[in-house]
Amino acid sequence: MKLPSAKTVIEPFRIKSVEPMPILEAPKRKQLIKDASYNLFLLPASAVTFDLLTDSGTSAMSARQWGAMMVGDESYAGSSSYLKFEKTVQDLTGLEHVIPTHQGRSAEALLMTAMIKPGETVIGNTHFDTTRANIENAGAKALDLPSPSIALGIDDDFKGNIDLTKLQEHLKNETNKVRAIIITITNNSVGGQPVSMENIRNANELAKSYNIPLFLDCARFAENAYFIKIRENGYSDRSIPSICKEMFSYCDGAIMSAKKDAFANIGGFLAINNLEIASQIRSLMVLTEGFPTYGGLAGRDMEALAVGLKEIQEEDYLSYRIRSVEYFGKGIEAAGLKVVTPIGGHAVYIDAGKTLPHIPSSQFPGQSLSVALYEHIGIRSVEVGSVMLGHRDPETGKEHPAPQELVRLAMPRRVYTQSHVDYMVEMIHYLAPHLAELRGFEFSYQARFLRHFTAKFKKLT
Ligand SMILES: *Cc1c(COP(=O)(O)O)cnc(C)c1O
């Protein structure tokens, strides 16, 4: 007799340390979200049962990571924790110079300041918003060339790819302007969609032929590697570490927010082969991050990162990770809500525009759905639609909508169990028949920049 394998169907960890989860009743939540002016960012975390606002810095660390933290070497210069971290990143990426930073955006800021001159262009599959801001802050243009399947709205195994045809055109027409190419794995801004090995390899060949450096923004490198293993021809028998090694072999440098695929609560790095840029960054970083062997991190943080960067490559974990996010997405879809497909690596995106067709984009259907998910179920999600990505014309006061009205449910790593997910899905089933009763919102206050963080709303009747 042979029973099915437990692999991929259960959480490949057991729980040694727990923290209580706030469980509130709906009337209390209704009052709290009203007090927070219907902005989920303004809720205290103690009012949230399922905090799916982000997968950044919210992972559960392992016993091995907590153990490693106890041996953190807090020496100012050349700590053994740095040397361990440096070697781990070198082994992972094959890149020579490893610079720790306190999170991803500081690696971006340092790289862009050291590398870019005003008027240049940095091309990406889709730049993450902080990457774009750092490129623009250096006076350069951040150009996105996402896969054509995004514009066509069709499913594709590697919807995160960079558009190679357009990349070639730009490289040919603007050879002297393009300073770098950054491929974000997985492509966060289009829904955590993976990039294929073939795409990275071909982008690298193009970059080489024009002598332009290729960088990986590798916040979710392990999730990307797992998608390559299960979806791309020729990779099913390859180990995750060997797939990671091959991905990084096609780049000249990498920037990482280690708050994602390193299971850490804080941290990041920049790794690069170019000594000149590395030296420039090392002298620059003293102004903001600290000495180059700690870069804004404690020795214990680098210990946790060194363990996390290896642990994240375990295949049992990755199959559970990708499968459990998909399971959540399929459950929401089965309840009748419209989700973005294929489901990405770190989050489920609900298409609120299609799910609430009676609410026009000017009344923010994503905001309406995310408030309802909180009021009725205790889920904190984030609107990724016209509140976050739209804007108001400062002269006419007219609202310009975003191309899509999405709500993102990001899954912290190793935090919520299947029973939590089953409960959320069951509650969404109860909510689904009442979606037509939801009403839109209007702003009662909005800041000029990044308005979603501080905005106040009024519920329309
Ligand atoms: C989170 C993220 C960043 C920024 O990193 P922080 O650690 O939040 O500063 C950059 N790129 C991608 C793809 C990310 O997901």
Helices 240-249 and 221-231, packing angle to 10 deg: 110
Whole-number percent of the chain with pLDDT over 70: 100
Residue 134 amino acid letter: N
pLDDT band at residue 191 using 50, 70 and 90 as cut-offs: confident
Q: Is the pLDDT of residue 164 over 90?
A: yes
Lowest mean pLDDT among 238-252, 336-350, 353-367, 386-400: 386-400
Q: Is the pLDDT of residue 7 over 80?
A: no
At 448 the pLDDT is 80
Helix, strand, or coil (residue 325): helix
**Using omega within 30 degrees of 0 as the cis cutoff, is the peptide bond preceding 342 cis?**
yes
At 399 the pLDDT is 84
At 363 the pLDDT is 96
The CA-based diameter of the chain, rounded to the nearest angstrom, is 74
Among protein residues, the one whose CA lies closest to atom 1 of ligand 1:
257
The domains of the chain, with CATH numbers, are 6-55+315-459 (3.90.1150.10), 63-311 (3.40.640.10)
At 11 the pLDDT is 93
At 27 the pLDDT is 97
User: Considering the entire predicted model, what is its pTM?
Assistant: 0.95
Q: What are phi and psi of 200, to 5 degrees?
A: -65, -45
The finding on whether 292 has its CB within 6 A of some atom of ligand 1 is no
Q: pLDDT of 268-293, one tens digit each?
A: 999 999 999 999 999 999 998 999 99
The finding on whether 199 has its CB within 6 A of some atom of ligand 1 is no
At 61 the pLDDT is 97
Tokens linked to 186: 């997985």
Q: Is the pLDDT of residue 449 over 80?
A: no
Q: Give the CA distances from residue 25 to residues 21, 49, 79, in Å, rounded to whole numbers and listed in that order.
A: 13, 10, 49
Which ligand 1 atom sits closest to the C-alpha of 267?
7
* Residue carrying structure tokens 């014309």: 393
Q: In angstroms, what is the span from residue 183 Cα to ligand 1's centroid?
A: 13
The finding on whether 225 has its CB within 6 A of some atom of ligand 1 is no
User: Is 248 one of the annotated active-site residues of the chain?
Assistant: no
At 17 the pLDDT is 94
At 251 the pLDDT is 98
- Report whether 169 contacts 210 (CB < 8 A): no
pLDDT band at residue 403 using 50, 70 and 90 as cut-offs: confident
Q: Is the pLDDT of residue 10 over 80?
A: yes
Q: In angstroms, what is the span from residue 129 Cα to ligand 1's centroid?
A: 8
CA dihedral 322, 186, 383, 51 (to 10 degrees): 50
At 97 the pLDDT is 98
Helix, strand, or coil (residue 226): helix
At 151 the pLDDT is 83
Q: pLDDT of 59-100, one tens digit each?
A: 999 999 999 999 999 999 999 999 999 999 999 999 999 999
The finding on whether 54 has its CB within 6 A of some atom of ligand 1 is no
Q: How many residues does the chain have?
A: 461
Q: What are phi and psi of 361, to 5 degrees?
A: -60, -25
107, 180, 219, 258: which one is catalytic? Answer: 219
Which ligand 1 atom sits closest to the C-alpha of 103?
7
Tokens linked to 461: 């009747």
DSSP letter at 125 equals: S
More confident residue, 139 or 190: 139
pLDDT band at residue 190 using 50, 70 and 90 as cut-offs: confident
